[in-house]
Chains A and B, each alone.
Chain A
Amino acid sequence: MSERKTWQELELGVELPAATSLGYKTGGWRVLRPVWNASECIYCMICVNYCPDMAIPVTKSEEGVAGKGGRLFKGVIRLETNLDYCKGCGICAHECPTKCLSMIREEEAEQASCKL
């Protein structure tokens, strides 16, 4: 937490510039973490649109990426979940039509990354 301002340093009114919450990493709330198997993904965007935390970034791909059944998916594709903000609610995994998303416990994920 940064130094708190004195009253003299406050901006006029009770106002904030846009989007400052990006500085608040809610990823620390997680007990479960999503694991995404991109090779089984059909890039349906259900998980992206459901995520309450806007934690699944997307991009546009002209060349396309390989997904389920080796098919090439072009256009809007999802990327790895942004773990800075993902709270581990599990909606993405529960709603995924191909079950390419699963939830594992944070401790398991940490142990797995330690092994590397």
Chain B
Amino acid sequence: MGVRKAITGAEAAAEAMRQINPDVVVAYPITPQTPIVEQFAKYVADGIVDTEMVPVESEHSAMSATVGAEAAGARAMSATSSQGLALMWEIVAATPGLRLPIVMSLVNRALSAPINIHCDHSDVMGVTTVGWIQIFSENAQEVYENLLLAIRVAEDTRVQLPAMVNQDGFITSHAVEPVEIFDDALVRKFVGVRSLNRALLDVEHPKSIGPLVLPDYYFEFKRAQEEAMSKVFEVYREVGTELSAITGKQYPFFETYRVDDAEVVVVVLNSAAGTAKAAVDAMRVQGKKVGMLKPILFRPFPYSEVRDALRHVPVVGVLDRSMDFGACAPVYSEFRNALWKLDKRPAMQSYIYGLGGRDIMTTEIEAVFEELLSGKLDPEHQRYIGLRG
């Protein structure tokens, strides 16, 4: 039984970092991630943690220094959003190749242009291919628990890959919710200490990290990296079980809500999943059989588990909070991939919602359910929720 605090998603991330007490934190402020950095900096200033915190001069340097620290042997963490992620993309792409288990908070914010500081998923969806473990959080409680989970999954010897824990900018990061913070000692024991067996600072065993690799070997390195990604599922399950003993919660790859007998299921990530659950309940009161699926582990993508969960569902609508211009939206694409193998595939509809922080209402999701129940699908075209025109 933990202590309940009224805190924002950003503060919840900072709480997790406080308990983790990493060796090094390197971050550059960007709205709406800033409160994470500020809260943690306060912990440092008050001696609540003894982390070495480095206020770098850009996000590119933030991830570079985090990589340097992690390669040196430290447990190093960072946080960013949107343009910051875009700026550090070069290094974000390099980190999994070096097999460094950095854990970063990503507070989802729309990518420019136009510049917009509010929530959508265009930032994270632009970085799904490079090999970071990606976990999504519906609310502040999940942010907090996902960060603890992520440290252990990333640092597992079978994995050794970086992980990003996502939360919706402003909607989750800046909204106050009740969050149960578990006992410091229990959490510290769960999180443990990072092994120094790969540390560059081990001068007794000097090594060279990051050599040039020519066409004769590059492919093999990347295949080895993919193998590690494939191990994430089993490690995630094991670590989740261990964390359950502290929190009493479960850690599935995705959450299903009233899906068992659903005729229509809507798929949605992060905070809008909460809105979707309310819409599901409203529809159910009317006797309509609808449900919702909320992805949590997005990379690696649990194709076969998704297929099993949705194989009996006649209609699946996927709500994406980002676009892939000129192509199918990212979450929709993955679900189409997952359901392709079924002999009897659900009918599917892609929806775009919430770009640049545009709110999505329960009534709008209810309208989506009505549309999907009525069979008025247009699989060749994505639809837009709440768009004027």
Contact = CB atoms under 8 A, between A and B. Distances in A.
B99 A12 contact: yes
Interface in A10-42: 10, 12-18
Contact of B207 (A5, A6, A7, A17): A17
A50 to B, nearest CB: 25
Contacts, number: 46
Contacts of A115: none
Interface residues of A, number: 13
A60 interface: no
B223 to A, nearest CB: 4
Contact of B209 (A4, A8, A15): A15
Contacts of A4: 216-217
A36 B198 CA distance: 45
Nearest to A17: B207
Interface string A39-83: 000000000000000000000000000000000000000000000
Nearest to B209: A15
Nearest to A5: B220
Which residue of A4, A6, A8, A12 has the most chain B CB atoms within 10 A of its CB atom?
Answer: A12
B224 A10 contact: yes
Contacts of B219: 7
Main secondary structure of the interface of A (DSSP, over half): loop
B211 interface: yes
B208 A18 contact: yes
B160 interface: yes
B313 to A, nearest CB: 38
Interface in B26-56: none
B221 interface: yes
Given A12-B99, A13-B160, A6 B220 contact: yes
A4 B219 CA distance: 12
Given A12-B160, A13-B98, A14-B97, A7 B223 contact: yes
B198 A14 contact: no
A15 B71 CA distance: 11
B206 interface: yes
Contacts of B213: 14
Nearest to A19: B206
A12 B99 CA distance: 7
A12 B155 CA distance: 13
A13 B220 contact: no
A14 B220 contact: no
Contacts of B198: 12-13, 15
Interface in B65-98: 97-98
A18 B207 CA distance: 5
B220 A7 contact: yes
B227 A7 contact: yes
A14 B207 contact: no
B297 to A, nearest CB: 23
A32 B313 CA distance: 77
Contacts of B114: none
A14 B211 contact: yes
Contacts of B227: 7
Given A4-B216, A4-B217, A15 B207 contact: yes
Interface in B223-252: 223-224, 227
B209 A14 contact: yes
A13 to B, nearest CB: 4
B389 interface: no
B210 interface: yes
Interface of B: 97-100, 160, 198, 205-211, 213, 216-217, 219-221, 223-224, 227
Given A4-B216, A7-B221, A10-B220, 4 more contacts: A6-B220, A10-B221, A13-B160, A14-B209
30 contacts: A4-B216, A4-B217, A5-B217, A5-B220, A6-B220, A7-B223, A7-B224, A7-B227, A8-B224, A10-B220, A10-B221, A12-B99, A12-B160, A12-B198, A13-B98, A13-B99, A13-B209, A14-B209, A14-B211, A14-B213, A14-B221, A15-B198, A15-B207, A15-B209, A15-B210, A16-B207, A16-B208, A16-B211, A17-B205, A18-B206
Among all A-B residue pairs, the 10 with the closest Cβ atoms: A7-B220, A7-B223, A13-B99, A18-B206, A16-B208, A7-B224, A15-B209, A15-B207, A10-B224, A17-B207
